[in-house]
Amino acid sequence: MKVTVEAPKFDADVKLTAFIKKRVAKLEHYYDKIIATDVFLKLEPNVRPNNKYVEVLVSVPGDEFIVKKSAKSFEEATDVCVQSLERALVKRKQKIRARA
């Protein structure tokens, strides 16, 4: 699985990108046919505390899953995105098994 992390308006720390790649790599435990995963980091200049946005795009054969979450930190938003994607991938796998 190819994992790409993009932060268009700022430079993401090496520790942050390593954390994101490690968390996203765990998605292969739930669905082994993932082609690629793109992670987009956005930092909104607001006064509100949840100004860090993470958008994850997972490409699987015949479909794509997109999850967008905001939180106080990129790590927290990444965790929430990955949990949501885990549920979606398990649901897709069950649906494919039911058809077979």
Per-domain residue ranges of the chain: 2-99
Confidence (pLDDT) at 86: 95
Answer whether 78's CB lies under 8 Å from 20's CB.
Answer: yes
Confidence (pLDDT) at 100: 67
Assign domain 2-99 to its CATH superfamily: Ribosome hibernation promotion factor-like (3.30.160.100)
Neighbours of 74 (CB within 10 A): 22
Extract the residue ranges of the chain whose pLDDT is less than 70: 47, 100
Q: Which amino acid, 6? A: E
Helix (H, G, I), strand (E, B) or coil at 34: coil
Give me the sheet containing 52-60, strands edge to edge. 2-6, 36-43, 52-60, 63-71
Confidence (pLDDT) at 49: 79
